[in-house]
Amino acid sequence: MVPIKSFLVALATLAWQSSASPLLYSRGANGTGFVFTNANGLNFTQMNHTLPNITIFATGGTIAGSDSSSTATTGYTSGAVGVRALIDAVPSMLDIANVAGVQTANVGSEDITSDILISLSKQINKLVCDDSTMAGAVVTHGTDTLEETAFFLDATVNCGKPVIIVGAMRPSTAISADGPFNLLESVTVAASTKAKNRGAMIVMNDRIASAYYTTKTNANTMDTFKAMEMGFLGEMISNTPFFFYPPVQPTGKKDFDISNVKEIPRVDILFSYEDMHNDTLYNAVESGAKGIVIAGAGAGGVTTSFNYAMEDVINRLGIPIIQSMRTVNGEVPLSDVESNSATHIASGYLNPQKSRILLGLLLAKSSNITEIASTFALNTNA
Ligand code: SIN
């Protein structure tokens, strides 16, 4: 005898493919039971054929954080709550979309690794991009390194469907937790046809921001994600997105196909300061770094002696070094770092953490310094 669940799944799939009238599986009792499983095994708590389908990929962070005190906004446990609880906490998202959940990881974002990034990107490409029944993806994430994951997904998921990265600054147990509303807004943007072909976006605190440029600017407050010079793409008012501009891609953005990539080479970031020691550079290289990013003073600056050490590492070991900036805003132009004796690379408008992601992706494909330099040059002014 065919088990009843398999029968319902087969019936639903058949109806999905051939129905002229809306396929409607209403929400399970108290909104929690699964009523539909798609061809990739994603479970939905409702299937209303008139609504778009969205998958939430949960990775942990404060949005999934928990504490025994409702006023604690520090010292709580990140990544304590699962994707199912996140979805169930916002029943109104089911008025916007049919939602499935995937638990990709459940960690504080400082523990997101390049292996998790590769796996997350491949999951989104397979479960959302390659499935014509899916409209978009939402990724829940800790805010501390959210911009790095957002930049990685912006570069590696390029099917035009919206990919929204969302976090929260208050844990789910706090009074006025920001996670539920941020998640509702993210699902709404992911489900909007107006959000197509805009790359990955960060949706938090009623703002829609480009993953390419946006950075965390404040360690504690809710209005933390900003791209000060480039601005926001749009705003959410009463859970309705308004985009200020038509779809556009950032200048210098490079798309990557990582379907055959298994590993991202190690790239270290070194911070520039008065009296900076050269051995930090040699130690990084000896420890296995295949590329280096400098969080330079001002427009990429390092001490004179460190500059000689960089030239030695570039020329003798063929290791690319990107000079970025430790300031939150501004640009490192090539004219501020170039020399006749080594290929210095300026990060342009990319901050150190975004430069690290881009260099890692480039190194996963090729270690040719000229090719790497020409990609970074697209982000620089002079
Ligand atoms: C984290 O990044 O995982 C903790 C902090 C946060 O999510 O806001």
Cα-to-centroid distance, 202 and ligand 1 (Å): 14
The residue to mutate among 104, 110, 139, 144, having the most atoms of ligand 1 within 8 angstroms of its beta carbon, is 144
DSSP string for residues in 14-45? HHHHH-SSPPEEPPPGGGTS--EE-TT--EES
Same domain, 220 and 328: no
Does the pLDDT of residue 126 top 80, yes or no? yes
pLDDT at residue 28 in the model: 61
Look up the CATH number of the domain holding residue 47: 3.40.50.1170
Q: Structure tokens of 328?
A: 């939150």
What is the distance between the alpha carbons of residues 240 and 227, in angstroms, rounded to a whole number? 21
Domain that holds residue 76: 4-243
143 catalytically annotated: yes
Does the active-site annotation cover 77?
A: no
pLDDT of residue 80 exceeding 80: no
> Which of 55, 59, 62, 380 is flagged as catalytic?
62
Say if 258 falls within a structural domain: no
Atom of ligand 1 nearest to the CA of 169: 8
pLDDT in tens, 160-181: 999 999 999 998 888 999 999 9
- Confirm whether residue 144 is marked as ligand binding: yes
Considering the domain architecture, whether residues 129 and 87 belong to the same structural domain is answered as: yes
Within a domain: 283: yes
Is-contact 295 285, C-beta < 8 A?
A: no
Residue 124 domain flag: yes
Same domain, residue pair 212 and 295: no
Whether 382 is in a domain gets the answer: no
Residue 277 sits in the same domain as residue 314: yes
With a cut of 50, say whether residue 7 has pLDDT above it. Answer: no
Residues with CB under 6 Å of ligand 1 are: 61-62, 78, 108-109, 142-144, 167, 169
Total tally of structural domains belonging to the chain: 2
CA distance linking residue 154 with residue 347, whole number of Å: 18
Per-residue pLDDT averaged across 21-40, rounded? 68
**Residue 65 Cα: closest atom of ligand 1:** 7
- With a CB cutoff of 8 Å and minimum separation 6, the contacts of 303 are 272, 274, 275, 276
**326-363 confidence digits (pLDDT tens):** 999 999 999 999 999 999 999 999 999 999 999 999 99
> Do 239 and 275 fall into the same domain?
no
The closest-lying atom of ligand 1 relative to the alpha carbon of residue 146 is 2
Q: What is the four-CA torsion angle of 217, 281, 116, 325, rounded to 10 degrees?
A: 20
Q: State in Å, rounded, how far the first CA of the chain is from the last one.
A: 71
- Ligand-binding annotation for 109, yes or no, is yes
| pLDDT score at 64 | 83
* pTM beyond cutoff 0.85: yes
C-alpha 4/C-alpha 10 separation (Å) is 10
SS3 content of the chain, % helix, strand, coil (to 5): 35, 20, 45
Q: Does the structure show a pLDDT above 50 at 87?
A: yes
CB-based contacts of 7, cutoff 8 Å, min separation 6? none
Average model confidence (pLDDT) across the chain? 91
Q: What does the block give as tokens for 65?
A: 């954080």
How far apart, in whole angstroms, are the C-alpha atoms of residue 269 and residue 331? 17
Instruction: Tell which of 243, 276, 302 closes a domain.
Output: 243
Q: pLDDT digit string (tens) for 197-214?
A: 999 999 999 999 999 999
143 is in an annotated binding site: yes
Say which of 143, 145, 224, 380 is annotated catalytic. 143
Please provide the DSSP assignment of 246-278 as one string.
SS---TT------TT---PPPEEEEE--TT--T
Pairing between β-strand 136-140 and β-strand 163-166 as defined by DSSP bridges: parallel
Closest ligand 1 atom to the C-alpha of 144? Answer: 2
Give alpha helix (H) positions in 166-272. 179-190
**Would you call 287 exposed, middle or buried from its count of C-beta atoms within 10 A (0-12, 13-18, 19+)?**
exposed
Which residue of 109, 146, 166, 216 sits with most ligand 1 atoms within 8 Å of its CB, as the best mutation to test the pocket?
A: 109
**Under DSSP, is residue 323 helix (H, G, I), strand (E, B) or coil?**
strand
